[in-house]
Chains A and B, each alone.
Chain A
Amino acid sequence: MNDLTRRNALRLAAAGLAMPWVTKAQAQERKITLAAYTGMFEDLYKKTVVEPFMKANPSIKVNYVGMPTSAQNLGTLRAQKASPQVDVCIMDVTVAKAGANESLYKTVTTEQLPVMKQLTPSALIEGAPGPAVTFDMIVLMYAPQKFQDAPTSWKELWNAKHKNRIAIDAPPNLLGLGLTLIANKMAGGGDYRQSVAKGIELLGDLAPLVQTWEPKPDCYAAVTNGAVDLSIGYNARTQISSKQTPDRIAAVIPEQGSVAQINTINLVNGSSQTEAALQFMSYALSQEAQSTFTEAAYYSPTNPNASISADARQRTAATPEKIAKMIDVDWIAVAKIRDAITEQWRRNVISRS
């Protein structure tokens, strides 16, 4: 404590002497830009992570830039490759991997970011430039008013009484890709890296019941505003809607299990604020930030030390029984067959609706 104050005093003195030259440089030195999702994610992330971080580190200002999708986030990084304006980005792991091959990021190591040692092993992903910062999963969304009992199986989607009351985001959307893998498992289709033909065939049977393959403005709104009764979406996002309007939308992880969605936090190559950026990343992965963000947004923490309330644990994908039901997916491998799956959907699924 004593040490700290002395250092601060010295710094103040130095700043006073060098005032005219230093102030501006210092102000620039302590400003970083974070690019991550817009909307609800932005609101909650700013409140529970960015603002507490700035309070704890008054010398660093974090500028949050909202991106509608991870792909648009990557697009921005590509466009700014010559002089990056973004220091840290949070995006889907598959998109992050695509950017890694274009050396848009600096891969971070445990030496630079010791907090990585605390993370659960699945948060450190082969080929990804940064560690996972949130875990999420695909869930079955339903309108509780229309169901006596909550559905328990993905098979509910194939129930003919829901004709025209189903919305599914078709590939190339990642939700549709995830559903393909789930359907492939249900149909006993074997390793998806070899073939998803059986899954596609099964989805073809579902097709006539589907109202839209591209719900607008999004699948959550489609369920909430009553346009459809069943849909698929991400757990965290669904939980937030469900908390606001519990009678209109709810999520279930069906008995067949589900697939995960992972966001990683990455350091942009060419960031002029590496040190401050790492400081922020460290905080984002810390027990504290992981706890508060999970409590607010229901993404599963990647830091197992995070302390989570019972309610939040119930809502997140982090309960042990849910984790046990997860279908192991190599998203990097899926990204490689994404075009092929999209094509099969067009030919054999959407064409049947």
Chain B
Amino acid sequence: MYLKVESLEKRYGHLVPVSGLSFSLGQGELLGLLGPSGCGKTTTLRMISGLIHATSGKIIVGGHDVTHLPTYRRNMGVMFQSYALFPHMTIAENVAFGLEMRKLSKADIAQRVSSALSMVRLPALGNRKPLQLSGGQQQRVALARALVIEPDILLLDEPLSNLDAKLRDEMRNEIREIQQRLRMTTVFVTHDQTEAMAICDRIVVMNRGKLEQIGTPHEIYERPSTPMVADFVGRINRIRCRWRDDGAIAFGHTAIGAVSTGPAGSEVLVMVRPHRIELRSAGAKAGRAEGENTIPGTVRQVTYIGDSLQYAVESEGEKIMVEQATTSAGDTYKPGDAVTLNWRARDTLTFAAEADV
């Protein structure tokens, strides 16, 4: 493993923004630090870069303990949320700054600056000042400045949050593409699960200063280890029920089937993603697959949001959200329609009720 973080902790008096955090990533891996604001992900990133000193724990890069090294000796490329370009320097001077600190020759610097600017597709803007550039261009300069020093690790702090939605997707892919090409070990902090899912090899979900789950995007999404993770990485229905003695879950007059089981009579938190539920007319006798849940309900509300339709369905006194892709056939239901909710048992996520906080 190239970067190892062991039992990392940060304290400010009674405040503990990060505690007991351990994870590691291999050379060339892109790791996402995902979590709601205040979860300690940025603090973690700043501890890795050295801008904040860890209260305890270790940070190891390529076998060397860098926990107590000052930032300027760590050789990490950091891209800040606000880009932090030096406003009094030109673009070329900004990119050259880190190379000057490394005492490279003038010719060497010029050559490396121009190739870095070409890499981020801004070869002609070297003489402009940062404020004359658009947000997306500033972003690319910041990336070039962080990469030109050939850092051991690239640290990205919410790099896309200041861009508009369209540009964000484009930059996201560009960052991923460059990272792959350079095989750059990268830590990427974000609060946007789509972003994290899209480009990360693995994701660390953090909550209240602690690691909640670490895994590939698929693992995180399909097999969240806590309700918090399940909730954070996508929309989800939550229903509080009890286990029956037959291994199913009691839901009003009917039952919900799941893959896992629990002790009869104990409380269980059931979570189902809205787009994994299919709506059918109450009377329809469509082929019902084995292990599929079918729950009757009544449509209460329909919301059209372009690429999908959102239904609020009442069933056994609970409100269950259902999402269906809009198709040209457009077989939509209206409020008041009696329907059945159908989903596969393996899409039923169950958690011990105590885990729900």
Is A in direct contact with B (CB under 8 Å) within the complex? no
A residues in contact (CB < 8 Å) with B: none
